[in-house]
Amino acid sequence: MSKIKKIIHINQHKIKSNRKTGKCEPVITCKTYKENRYGHEVSILDDNGKEIATIRYRPNNPLPCGAHIWLETTSDVEVKEFKECP
């Protein structure tokens, strides 16, 4: 079985629109070659269906730093920094 590549995109224009209008429309898009799905939260699953990360949009309950959208995981994380943008 082949895996379908997914691109998770955060729509900054929709975030700005929500702030301006007071609406809470979905700002996260999960795109494949055949569909776009929109949501307020996206769970990333491993091959066994176990959640390994979640992207959350919470404009009415931001993090203490003020972030309205963030990724949470209990999995190990590798952070890479480049001297120049790839």
- Alpha carbons 76 and 25: distance in angstroms, whole number: 31
For 53, counting Cβ atoms within 10 Å of its Cβ (0-12 exposed, 13-18 middle, 19+ buried), the class is: middle
Taking only the tens place, the pLDDT of each residue in 18-28 is 999 999 999 99
At residue 68's C-alpha, the angle toward residues 79 and 36, to 5°, is 80
What DSSP state is assigned to residue 59?
T
Residue 86: band (very low, low, confident or very high) from pLDDT cuts 50, 70, 90: confident
Taking only the tens place, the pLDDT of each residue in 55-84 is 999 999 999 999 999 999 999 999 999 999
Reported pTM: 0.88
Taking only the tens place, the pLDDT of each residue in 19-56 is 999 999 999 999 999 999 999 999 999 999 999 999 99
Say if CB 57 and CB 69 are below 8 A apart.
yes
